[in-house]
Structure 1
Amino acid sequence: MHRIAATPGGWNPQAEGVIFIEQTPAPIIFLTAADTDIQTLAAAVNKLPFDFPQLRVANLLHLQQQLTIDTYADDILSKAKVIIVRLLGGRSYWSYGLEVLLEAIEKEGAKLIVIPGDNRPYPDLISHSNVSISLVNQFWQYLIEGGVDNFVNGLKFIANICLGKDYDFALPIPVSRVGIYPWQKEEQTTKAKIGILFYRAHYLSGNVAPIDALCQALIEKNLEPVPVFVSSPRDVEVQGEILEYFQPENAEAIQLLLNTTSFAVSVVNNQDFALEKSPNPPLLRQGKNLDIPVLQVIFSGGNFEQWESQFQGLSPRDVAMNIALPEVDGNIISRAISFKAVQTWNSDLETDVISYFPVQDRIEFVSELAANWIKLRQTPASQRRIALILANYPNRDGRLANGVGLDTPASCVEILQALQQAGYYLENIP
């Protein structure tokens, strides 16, 4: 049994059968795990010269099974003259695919350009390229800056260097790493400002329907959204700028942050602990520096139909990237408000263009949750009602609220005392 690669979100290991990517060969092949790259390429291909070499694009999430990779290599990669791979996370995330690629280019003599999916250098990954490091770095810079114009110029640059073309092209155009999303807000008196943090790649590719819907839902709750795009919230260089947008000197600061970015801002290791003790520690946690709650709002990497039909809900990848790791930062998990869906089929690239689509009832839930957190924040501590919930595992009563290596009762007493010192009304603390 085999299936065509048409499922938004990539290969599902629980599904039966093997995925095959149905494409025709082309001189240039672009492989990426980022749907935003594909969205940008779909727009860029319309701005390329009429005689530009044909380009095919495939999502690496569909190239996860060995038979799929082998078949694609035989049918498509072996006939290419330039192969571009943009891989997020390093060599280990697609090690078999890289091995097959190296065999293919050794036989056919194609140019191979392997670059990271973000702006962090991975020398081991880049070293798989068989072109000069200067060429790799310049092309990588086009993709780091992002946007349709940079992708167009980057492709022209590659065609000139690798295929002997002579197109006019510009150097990479710098694009701000962080900035306010120019959402058209309604003029009205609002209760409070709510920050929204989302990836710059969505802004540059126009993949902003969930952000627009979330902003509108907050407006309807009499809250003012402050949507800010960022290349990566883990970049210490841009964290100060994020704080300036959310906590300006001459304007009201946000009272709640809705974070849609994945992973964790802080990295728990010995180096970080040393950094936090230094006189000028990096801005590791946005909520900690702003002194506000942070709600984690999930952009699922899967599609709505799979999520709705499967008992487990979100995929293990979604749980790791958008729940488990953000909890390291102390983020409060809310809901998945958007899922991937096929926007259109691009006949030039011979691939589906995938985008996020918002789910309105879940957006309404998050906006209502945000309004409730603002209400709680504005309620005096002495009037707040807090529940302390302890685990009750299904064994004997002596295990009530147990934690391996932890003194749970003592921890509870410490928490109650801290709440009392913070102004909460408590009596009869043990």
Structure 2
Amino acid sequence: MILVLTNADTEILALRSVLEGLPDGFPAVRAANPTALDTVPDLDGVDAVLVRLLGGRRAWEAQFDALAARCRETGIFLLAFGGEAQPDAELTAASTVPSATLAQAFEYLMHGGLANIEHLLRFVADTVLMGGFGFDAPVELPAHAVLSGRPAPSGGPVIGVVFYRAHVLSGNVGFVEDLCSAIEARGATAVPVWCYSLRPDPDGRVRALELLAERSVDVVVTTVLAMGSARDDDWDASALASLGVPVVQAVAATQPQAAWEESTAGLGPLDVAMSVAIPEFDGRIVGPAFSFKEVVDDGDALGTPVTAYRTASDRVERVAGIALRLAALAHIANADKRVAVVLSAYPTKRSRIGNAVGLDTPASVIDLLHAMVAAGYRVDRIPADGDSLMAELADALCYDREALTPVQLDQVAGRWGGGDYSAWFAGLPAALTDVVTEAWGPPPGEVYRDGNDLVFPGLDLGHVLVAV
């Protein structure tokens, strides 16, 4: 038996896809994700173990060391690989096959793809276990390319969709196809590009971004993690910024949709860190979660459940809508755009408006307004400094009572008729409206009312609204 342990679920999916193509009499193949294993798996009947650890030995340190010791004691062949494009020295040293054998096996994994996964298994069966099934040499696949099979350009906006090469290699591209189809249904052209990473290569180039630039994309939607890296005290994402277009981070969650829906926190800590917080350093616009990792095979064949990304249709439509609306903005003159700058209101104290630990939010708003003027946006006036800005905002609203004063009502930045609001509110799911009604009473509520209108305080600075 060949046991494959990998913390890349895409590789488990690829293994499941190639099992039926293996010849009669081929050794049984089993797999597991080591992150789900607290101890060394049962090695009864196992002849060879292939371990692939994204993050290296530290990703499964104690268990890997125990596994390596068990393999040495029992004479089980161990082939261990890291997740980078270069061999991992620690894992190579722990392997028990000749270095040339390990190097060639690593070539199959480095290039990836269903054919390479199948022939990796055949290679191990023949050269390590001395079978006679036959195998092909590793086939090199592009590190980046445009996914084929999409319709011809429509003449509308062009939306780039960036995703990991690993999904192509495992056949896990359904979630990308769904997003592209939603974009195309809105009259735009989708350009799906896969890549190993958005980090620059040794020549300083990011080939995937070059493919997008060649096609003059209006917006980029990416599921790939942050490209920036720390240089001294700076975060360098200049290659992405050089496209000069909005970049939307569409979240491909690592949890099932049901778990996401049931959680009051939504995304788990890992997804929040890797798909929300860190991509913001790249200057990306964080969009909603639109795909989720679901079990697509119960694991009878491999001995472990097989997962793949599956989309939620309404979330896909939302991501596509965000991309198309951002693309439309590129064709509107800055002077005609209307921009809202909304500051935080937590904790809810007058003295903490716009609070951000370690940052001077008011000064940042003033700098932003001056930059907008320089870029051609319509800003009729700019407060003298951050203190003046905050004084105006504080005078425009109140935290200690439900109603604004007559002077404040004269200065509100906007109104929403109670009837229109109530009609909109009635169209929301009951699960949402019931909670709001229980806390705030029937629509339109009693807070910030002027007659039957809802009123919204803020500073109207022309085509720029500053609000809390």
Task: Say yes or no: TM over 0.5.
Answer: yes
**From 223, 227, 250, the counterpart of 1:260:** 223
* Aligned pair partner of 1:137 in 82, 96, 103: 103
**Separation of aligned partners in 1, 2:323 and 2:279:** 18
Change in Cα spacing, 1:428 to 1:183, as seen in structure 2 (3 Å) is same
After superposition, the C-alpha distances for 1:5-30 in whole angstroms (9 at most, x for unaligned) are xxxxxxxxxxxxxxxxxxxxxx2110
Tell me the distance in 1 between the aligned counterparts of 2:83 and 2:253. Answer: 19
The CA distance in 1 between the partners of 2:301 and 2:97, in whole Å, is 26
Is the aligned partner of 1:373 residue 2:335?
no
CA distance in 2 between partners of 1:126 and 1:77 (Å) = 21
Query: Residue 78 of structure 1 contacts residue 104 of structure 1 at CA under 8 Å; is this kept in 2?
Result: no
Query: Match for residue 228 of structure 1?
Result: 193
Q: In 2 relative to 1, CA 86–371 (structure 1 residues): closer, same or farther, beyond 3 Å?
A: same
Which amino acid in the other structure matches residue 297 of structure 1?
A: A
User: Structure 2 residue aligned with 1:42, among 8, 16, 22?
Assistant: 16
Q: Which residue of 2 aligns with 1:330?
A: 283
Other-structure match for 2:247: 294
How much does 1:343 deviate? 1.8
Counterpart amino acid of 1:224?
A: T
Identity %: 33
**Deviation of residue 190 (structure 1)?**
3.3
Partner of 1:407: 360
What is the CA-CA distance between 1:389 and the residue it aligns to?
Answer: 2.1
**Superposed displacement of residue 345, structure 1:** 3.6
Aligned length: 382
- CA displacement 1:238-268 (0-9 Å, x = unmatched): 95422332122xxx50010000112x11111
Residue aligning to 1:150: 116
Q: How far 1:339 moved relative to its partner? A: 0.9
1:162 aligns with 2:115: no
In the alignment, the residues of structure 1 paired with residue 331 and residue 208 of structure 2 have an alpha-carbon distance, to the nearest angstrom, of 24
| 2:263 match | 310
Corresponding residue for residue 156 of structure 2: 191
* Residues in 2 aligned to 1:175 and 1:416: alpha-carbon distance in whole angstroms: 48
In structure 2, the partner of 1:16 is: none
Secondary structure class of the residue paired with 1:305: helix
Task: Tell me what 2:36 maps to.
Answer: 62
Residue 251 of structure 2 aligns to a residue whose secondary structure is strand
Cα RMSD of the aligned pairs, angstroms, is 2.2
Q: Following superposition of structure 1 onto structure 2, how do residues 93-104 of structure 1 map, counting pairs within 5 Å?
A: 93-104=59-70
Q: Specify which of 200, 205, 226 is matched with residue 165 of structure 2.
A: 200
3-state secondary structure, aligned to 2:354: coil
Call closer, same or farther: CA 1:341–1:174 in 2, change over 3 Å. Answer: same
Question: Segments of 4+ in structure 1 off by > 6 A?
Answer: none
Structure 2 partner of 1:19? none
* Residues in 1 aligned to 2:270 and 2:264: alpha-carbon distance in whole angstroms: 16
TM-score for both structures, normalised by structure 1:
0.83
Structure-2 separation of matches of 1:306 and 1:418 = 43
Out of 69, 73, 82, the residue aligned to residue 107 of structure 1 is: 73
Q: Does the aligned pair in 1 maintain the 2:250–2:286 contact within 8 Å?
A: yes
SS of 1:233's partner is: coil
CA distance in 1, matches of 2:274, 2:43: 31
Does the aligned pair in 2 maintain the 1:40–1:147 contact within 8 Å? yes
Could you say what secondary structure the match of 1:302 adopts?
coil
Tell me how far apart the structure 2 counterparts of residues 349 and 52 of structure 1 sit (CA, whole Å). 14
Q: Is residue 6 of structure 2 the alignment partner of residue 32 of structure 1?
A: yes
1:193 touches 1:224 (CA, 8 Å); kept in 2?
yes
Aligned-pair distance for 1:288?
0.5
Q: Aligned partners of 1:363, 1:177: CA distance in 2, in Å?
A: 26
* 1:289-329 Cα deviation digits (max 9, x unpaired): 21111000111111111111111111111112211221121
Shift of 1:395: 6.3
Partner of 1:213: 178
Return the alpha-carbon distance in structure 2 between the equivalents of residues 267 and 126 of structure 1.
28
Which piece of structure 1 moves more, 386-395 or 94-103?
A: 386-395
Where does structure 1 lack aligned partners over 5 or more consecutive residues? 1-26, 277-283
SS of structure 2 residue aligned to 1:322: helix
Q: Distance in 1 between matches of 2:281 and 2:86?
A: 22
Query: How do 1:63-82 and structure 2 match up within 5 A?
Result: 63=37, 66=38, 69-70=39-40, 72=41, 76-82=42-48
| Larger Rg over CA atoms | 2
1-side partners of 2:332 and 2:122: how far apart?
58
Do 2:150 and 2:190's aligned partners in 1 also have CA atoms closer than 8 Å?
A: no
Match of 1:84 among 33, 50, 56: 50
Q: Unmatched 5+ residue regions in structure 2?
A: 385-468
How far 1:396 moved relative to its partner?
5.0
1:362 is matched with 315
Q: Is the 8 A contact 2:72 2:96 kept in 1?
A: no
In structure 2, what residue type is equivalent to 1:112?
Answer: L
Tell me the secondary structure at the aligned position of residue 52 of structure 1: coil
Matched, 1:270 2:232: yes
Q: CA deviation at 1:271?
A: 9.3
